[in-house]
Structure 1
Amino acid sequence: MPKRVDHEQRRRQIAEAVWRVAATRGLPAATLREVAAEAGVSMRLVQYYFTTKERMLVYAFELGAKAAGERMRASFAALGHPPGPADVVRICLLELLPTDEDSLMLARVHAAYYAAALTDASLATAEAENPQHMLENLIASQLRVGQETGEVPASIDPTLEARGLAALAAGLSSTMLVGGRSAEDATALVRYHLARLFPGGRNTRR
């Protein structure tokens, strides 16, 4: 009886090989041949699933975004209680920082994609549709909820604060990747801004 193939698992195997190549050698090195070698499969198999390099890279990027979302959902589940606005904002920001092996890999991959998107139109489109705007919208909505419950000062602008926080996390992540700031310093900066937005101090601890 022929062995049943899990096609989605095959695609993920190839995409994770893209991540490893991109994280260590940059996205230009992620050719079909190099990715096939990293994944331990034939180049013909990679072409079977993705046809072109561009499709492979876009799929790997989208899978990376999903992986980041899965990490956040796991952090929410670990709270042991329904997350409040401060919980949501804190977790969304801190999960973007490369503080462990998995988040470091995802941050390096995203940095590699961002650099390549400067000269590659297909990747620029993928970057334009990245979760950054979704993150900003989510944070803004939670700040508005916090204002309604009295946890967040009514004087702040949720939209502008959300944009600033998302940019802060992205900048801290980039700086950490090149050794310019430690995880402790980056986490302290995030907590400083959370304490300003949630002055009551509720749910601002990791």
Structure 2
Amino acid sequence: MPRLVDHEQRRREITTAARAVIAAGGLDAATFQSVAAQAGVSVRLIQYYFGTKRDLMLATHRAVVEDWGRVFAEALGALGPDAAPREVIRAVSLGLIPLDDVRHQDNLVFAAFHAANLTGNTVTSEEMMGAPRYLIASFTEQLRRERPGETGTRALELDAELIVLAVTGISQAVLAGGATRERAVELLDHLLDRVFAGE
């Protein structure tokens, strides 16, 4: 009897291999041949699951976003339903910063996609902006919980966007060796102390 193939698992194995290739050499290094070698499968199998390199790259990007979503869910689950807004934003932000080897690799992958977006290669701005927009909306909602009397949403949205951009910058500093992981946590806490100064 032929062995049943878990197609989702196979796709996952391929995108995991693509992440390793991208983290080591950027998007240009992620050819069907290099990803196939990393995954230990044939090029034809990758072509079967992902018709084009662009399809493979978008699926790889989506896999990183989905993994981060699971990290966030676990962190928020550990906090419980009554967690304060600052705790929620801190937990999610810590999940984004490369504080371990897995997140370091995923941040390298995201940096490669960001560079490709800047040069108009492989991905578009619209395809890259889904995750940041979701984070800004989520952080805005948490700030609204903290400051229910604040009129309008513009200031809340700006504060939320500043947090997301700051976390992105902190992550890039860690990747580039400009900040240690410990310093990254210190910078995040300092930022949140300022944002939540009225607590």
Tell me the TM-score normalized by structure 2: 0.91
Match of 1:179 among 166, 169, 177: 177
Query: Within 5 Å, which residues of 2 pair with 1:66-85?
Result: 66-80=66-80, 82-85=82-85
Q: What's the CA shift for 1:178?
A: 0.9
Instruction: Indicate the SS of the match to 2:123.
Output: helix
Q: Judge conservation of contact 1:98–1:176 (CA < 8 Å) in 2.
A: yes
Q: Secondary structure at the match of 1:3?
A: coil
Residue by residue, what CA displacement relative to the aligned partner does 1:24-77 show, whole Å, maximum 9, x if unpaired?
A: 111100001110110000000000001111100000001111111111111112
In structure 2, what is the equivalent of residue 56 of structure 1?
Answer: 56
Partner Cα separation in structure 2 for residue 170 and residue 36 of structure 1: 31
Give the distance between the partners of 1:4 and 1:181, measured in 2 at CA: 47
CA RMSD of aligned residues (A): 2.0
Mean Cα deviation higher: 17-26 or 119-128: 119-128
Matches within 5 A, 1:23-172: 23-80=23-80, 82-125=82-125, 127-148=127-148, 157-172=155-170
1:94 Cα shift?
Answer: 1.5
The one-letter code matched in structure 2 to 1:166 is V
Secondary structure of residue in 2 paired with 1:19? helix
Are the counterparts in 1 of residues 116 and 122 from structure 2 also a CA contact under 8 Å? no
State the 4+ residue runs in structure 1 displaced beyond 4 angstroms: none
CA shift, 1:122, in A, is: 4.0
Q: Which amino acid aligns with 1:58?
A: L
Gaps of 5+ in 2: none
The amino acid of 2:110's aligned partner reads H
Deviation at 1:162, TM superposition (A): 0.7
Look up the equivalent residue of 2:194 and give its one-letter code. Answer: R
Aligned 8 A contact 1:61 1:126 in 2: no
AA of the residue aligned to 1:70: R
Q: Deviations over 1:94-130 (max 9, x none)?
A: 2111001111111011011111222345412464333
Q: Distance in 2 between matches of 1:56 and 1:163?
A: 29
How many correspondences in the alignment?
A: 197
Q: Cα distance, 1:93 vs. partner?
A: 1.4
Q: Which 10-residue stretch deviates more, 119-128 or 31-40?
A: 119-128
Q: Describe the SS at the equivalent of 2:104.
A: helix
Could you say which residue in structure 2 is the equivalent of 1:193?
191
